[in-house]
Amino acid sequence: MSRLAETFAAARADDRAVLIAYLPAGFPTIVDCVPLIAAMVENGVDIVEIGLPYSDPLMDGPVIQQAVAGSLAAGVRIADVMRTVEGVAGTGAPTLVMSYWNPIARYGIERFSDELRAAGGVGVITPDLTPEEAPEWIAATDARDVDRVFLVAPSSTDERIELVSSVSNGFIYAASTMGVTGARTSISSAAPELVARVRKVTNQPVCVGLGVSTGEQAASVAGYADGVIVGSAFVKAILDAPSPSEGAAAVASLAGDLARGVRRGRR
């Protein structure tokens, strides 16, 4: 059983969803990134996504784009991403990389998979890679026991959902809206229906992302999903903080609020 599978199984035993947090590598600096994520893990985050900074982040909203631009301007490269993965994995939280496909393809599929595994990473989320374009990626990750996560959206047909489910082996990422990432005042009403459609074709965990920013929203999503994914809210908390220490306090507080939410979502 993979580290991801163990984490989801433990959450199921507690009758709760998992809390998944996203932060770009190198944000707000290469030095401060891992301690900030460690503060999030200490306060209830179960699984971590490390964003691989990319110059054309089509799915990312303005908050994450700002963070990624800062990482790129500071010269963050894939080697820094792997060091970040290693540091975060040291907290004990299963750690994935979330990356657009082009940087992985340019770096080398096997090389990327080997280095991720060596760093202690457990999987990769590829938001713009389709199953039809993924045979080499599937073979490389299968050979290295790296979990793959593909996305579905409210617009996905039943056939597309079944195909995505057949090639994913970490969890299914259900994007709750058709827009870009970013905290919202409410979660799309399409999310519960999308999760239900995915559950018809797979027993894999289904996690909902795009928009969650409060404990109340996390509780709502945790009522029907296996995982609650939060990114922009953590990034904004750091951007709004006057210093790294205050940023750590802000993300720790937010993580605690969200963790309490996922734990009461089914009660």
pLDDT for the residue 178:
41
Residues 6+ apart with CB under 8 A from 118: 82
Tokens, residue 186: 């409410």
Catalytic residue among 60, 80, 147, 226: 60
Catalytic residue among 14, 32, 49, 110: 49
Residues 6+ apart with CB under 8 A from 145: 2, 117
Which percentage of the chain shows pLDDT scores above 70?
95
Residue pair 132/115 in contact (Cβ under 8 Å)? The answer is no
| Active-site annotation holds for 46 | no
Q: How far apart are CA 59 and CA 149, in angstroms?
A: 16
Looking at per-residue pLDDT, the higher value among 186 and 202 belongs to 202
pLDDT for the residue 74:
95
Query: Taking residues 24-36, what's their average pLDDT?
Result: 96
Tokens, residue 61: 């909203």
pLDDT bin (cut points 50, 70, 90) of residue 19 is very high
**Alpha carbon of residue 167 to chain centroid:** 18
Given a cut of 70, is residue 180 above it in pLDDT? no
Q: Which of 44, 69, 60, 72 is nearest to 98 (CA)?
A: 60
| Active-site annotation holds for 49 | yes
Domain ranges of the chain: 3-264
Q: How far apart are CA 127 and CA 209, in angstroms?
A: 12
pLDDT bin (cut points 50, 70, 90) of residue 188 is low
Q: Which of 58, 82, 69 is nearest to 27 (CA)?
A: 69
The CA-based angle 223-62-26, given to 5 degrees, is 90
The CA-based angle 236-40-14, given to 5 degrees, is 125
CATH 3.20.20.70 at 3-264, yes or no = yes
pLDDT bin (cut points 50, 70, 90) of residue 177 is low
**What are the Cα distances from residue 18, in Å, to 13, 68, 69, 138, 162?**
11, 25, 29, 25, 23
Q: What is the pLDDT of residues 157-175, one digit of tens each?
A: 999 999 999 999 999 999 9
Give the 3-state DSSP-derived string for 148-208, with helices as H, strands as E and coil as C.
EECEECCCCCHHHHHHHHHHCCCCEEEECCCCCCCCCCCCCCHHHHHHHHHHCCCCCCEEE
pLDDT for the residue 61:
86
pLDDT for the residue 185:
46
Which percentage of the chain shows pLDDT scores above 90?
88
pLDDT for the residue 189:
76
